[in-house]
Structure 1
Amino acid sequence: MPLEVIVVGAGIGGLCAAVALQQAGHSVKIFERSRFAAEVGAALLITPNGERVLSRLGFDFKRARADDMLSFEVLDGVTFKQLHRAELINAREEYGAPLYTVHRVDMHNELLHLTSTLDLRLSSKVAAADAEQGLIVLEDGTQHHADLIIGADGLHSVLRGVVLGDQDAAKSTPGQVQNFAGIHESLHTEGDDLKALMLAEFGHYHPSLVHIINMAPDVTVWPLSYHDPLPIWTRGKVALLGDAAHPMLPFGAQGANQAIEDAGALGALFSNGESVADVPSRLRLFEQVRRLRASRVQSLSRVRLGKEKEVEDRVRLYAEPPNSKVPTSFAERLSHDYKFDVYAVCKEALSKKD
């Protein structure tokens, strides 16, 4: 019997998970809080580890107007001196798949095309959930049950709180703290002249970059968010993926690719006619396959390419097996990120379980 699956969130990770689980033979409903009225975003880099999954899902890179990425450089912003260069024309031979650049909106539209036969419910914000019962409750009070719930509801995830429980709550220290001031770095406040702030911050950069800032008709703030790796991703019938599980910074271009890997893993691990009774054990396997891998990438995302040594100790916390070597250079990071084949890893995990 196919499983009844609910995916909460229709971003890149949620839509990929929905397609993967439908292709695995399950019945999928997607609940998305927005109306998709004004989708925005910039270009995404789809690296070989993500491309493997998208190709298996039937993603049409041509229809999504994706371009092959043949090389990239890391430059010093002040001097424009080349710090690193990667030649990618032979990426398929070296990493097993090519690299593409694609606009986020075009990618999202292609994923919506792949999910056109699924039950997608917009303006459906989840207010609460019960992991053991397999239940979500919408803001209007309506309830929906499922055998499996995927929390792909982003950085401010409701499902993350359901999975982590008290581990995601603020800790109280009665009598120990009298005053707390939250101080964070920010380049702007409401109403500021953002272009002037950018020029003040980056005015000493290379003249070409300063010229680009001056030429910009408008400046938009795009917040970057990070969360330390989570101790668990699953509880009962609920699993987290994407930003709900591992929000990361853009250094390394792995945010979307890790969400895509999550989706590929779910499709692979739930592709053998699993029953409702199998869900908890399959979700434990999903966490086993994905959590340490994504936590390494998440920790690496704190530094730009070429600065891997700065986070070596942090990344080592998630080494597989423990104490094994972790990426400490530009080339090692590319190999670690790009060569990973989530389907091969899932196949091996299933064979060991059986």
Structure 2
Amino acid sequence: MTATVHRLGGAASPPSLDPMIAITAHDMNCVNAVILDRMQSDIPLIPKLAGHLIAGGGKRMRPMLTLASAAVLDYAGTRHHRLAAAVEFIHTATLLHDDVVDGSDLRRGKRTANIIWGNPASVLVGDFLFSRSFELMVEDGSLKVLKILSNASAVIAEGEVNQLTAIRRIDVGEERYLEIIGAKTAALFAAACRIAAVVAERPAAEEAALDAYGRNLGIAFQLVDDAIDYVSDADTMGKDAGDDFREGKMTLPVILAYARGDAEARAFWQRAIREGEAGEAELAEAVARMRETRAVDDTLARARHYGQRAIDALGMFAPSAAREAMVEAVEFAIARAY
């Protein structure tokens, strides 16, 4: 077994996804060809709406994780191309549905599909992409792969429903929050990495290690997203700052600030979250109260913790350019907040 890797925060230059993009470039071209082919339909609105999001500037991190995981394992086949496309279709479908549920009007700095074409079209094209993803899984022919990705799809939906029922619930605690993000975000990261070990026919321990890498990276990724909702802007985030606050989402920065606040602070959070008093003045006050309680700082500290767990999970794999790229992808995910 290879020694555990300890590198979070130790890079001399700002971390980047460039190494992962470089090692997966050829395979990603194959994946993109599958995506382009399978998003087509005789109904013109379907590829038009799907293409708006798929070609909208996303980094394709989840399918890249499938490809990078395969590279770590020295997998020489091509099955992972279609499966990485299936992963991207699952992700894109959930984004289309999420924007409808959240009433979002920006995604990656562009108007969301639901704003342009309406909620019904966005939901139905999301359903189309889910269906395409399952076609790709079935074509692969592995029941184990099908089980992993179909289970991830179900878990994501459960996480979204769990989050929906937690909206404006000021009593939501850290444990439930971690359940929500573990389902709605980390489950697909984990599955995207794990399926590479299945197609490469590697031992259960390596499958579990890639699952742990993806799951912990996914949690860290979402923690950072939830933190920068209060300390960033639309140009950086690709969505409006404070969206979570206005929607009454009990993310970890709010949970920590509420738990650490005095009676006056708690009354503020109850008005803002539970009663929906969440204008620009309230957002400014929320950010100030988070600074007082170090809620954002501690959210990012937790992100670094989960990021290190992701890096440690790679310790059983031999040193390689692919492993280094996966380590740097974790560091990149954390560095987005700085």
Give the TM-score normalised by structure 1. 0.30
Q: Which has the larger radius of gyration?
A: 1
Q: Which one has the bigger strand percentage?
A: 1
More helix by share: 2
Scaled by the length of structure 2, the TM-score of the pair is 0.31
